[in-house]
Amino acid sequence: MDFLTLIQIFDSTIRLATPLLLACLAGLYSERAGIFDIGLEGKMLMSAFFSAAVAAVTGSVWLGLLAGIASSLLLAGLHGLASITFRGNQLISGVAINFLAAGMTVLIAQDWFQQGGRTPSLFGGARFEPIDWPFAEALSGVPVVGPIYSELLSGHSVLVYIAFLAVPATWWVLYRTRFGLRLRAVGENPAAVDTAGVSVVGLRYAAVAICGVLCGIAGAYLATALQAGFVKDMTAGRGFIALAALIFAKWRPWHAMWACLLFGLLQAVALRFQNIDLGGVVIPVQAMDALPYILTVVILAGFVGKAIPPKAGGEPYVKER
């Protein structure tokens, strides 16, 4: 494998890890506040559809992004209403959101566009274009440094850079601000936070809202940057892979980034190498495609060490009277 091929694989890794990273950070905020959210998949799917649909109709990718975020926030509010206000089972609420999104997106797409549950292909201003860094083309011929700068770092859409900048931002918010301290405390001991005069309900709704925004960006990236339109079930389990990465990272932002890059690398390798020949044994492409999901099962089975979630996670808070 030559150096340029390696750079291309890493470039694909970054692109494929971006929606995982955004969804993983979304789950991080929600679960740190004590609200388990397995509805990441549904929120991403709903956002992917509405961002692609609005971008196709208006020709503006930014309006599409806003529509995707709004639709994701709507589902996040629904999850918050069920889990926080009505103290329902958080896992069932998340499953319901996934089913709701999977059915509604195809139904509405067929009604609006009559293209078999997909949106028209996006082009021009309806898609996020890659951003070329200064001197990227001029430096491309420089050995080692040139390909890294021009191919690996430059040429991604703005949402990729937002996703990776969100990692240090999340770390700073959670560990260096009063809001982050309270958010983490709500996930560990909501009664103590309530005793201090801070609204547990308000903090949990804030975490769910942040989760909705990040899932909205992730879904919009899938439909308007990584691909050129919406197709049925295009999230393809990415919400669940993001949850596995979150558990793998033990609910820490920097570790979450590396976990998502690992999953992205497996997807990139599966796309790049088809039917690998290992000493006369040919590994079929289906086995390569299954690698990220196999790793998900391995992680959730507990083979990567014990991951202890926030103590109050999944439990509705009942204020003492």
Joined together, the tokens standing for residue 17 give 């890890």
Name residue, tokens 């020709």: 59
Given a cut of 90, whether residue 181 has pLDDT beyond it is yes
Given a cut of 70, whether residue 85 has pLDDT beyond it is yes
DSSP state of 116: S
**What are the C-alpha distances in Å from 118 to residues 46, 107, 223, 278?**
13, 10, 11, 39
C-beta neighbour count of 80 within 10 angstroms = 25
pLDDT, one tens digit per residue, over 11-23 is 999 999 999 999 9
Report the percentage of the chain scoring pLDDT > 70.
97
Given a cut of 90, whether residue 294 has pLDDT beyond it is no
Q: What is the pTM of this model?
A: 0.94
DSSP state of 156: B
pLDDT, one tens digit per residue, over 192-250 is 999 998 999 999 999 999 999 999 999 999 999 999 999 999 998 899 999 989 988 99
**Average confidence score pLDDT of the chain:** 90
The angle formed by the CA atoms of residues 317, 185 and 318, to the nearest 5 degrees, is 10
Whole-number pLDDT of residue 178: 95
Name residue, tokens 């083309």: 137
Whole-number pLDDT of residue 287: 79
Residue 77 binned pLDDT confidence (cut-offs 50, 70, 90): very high
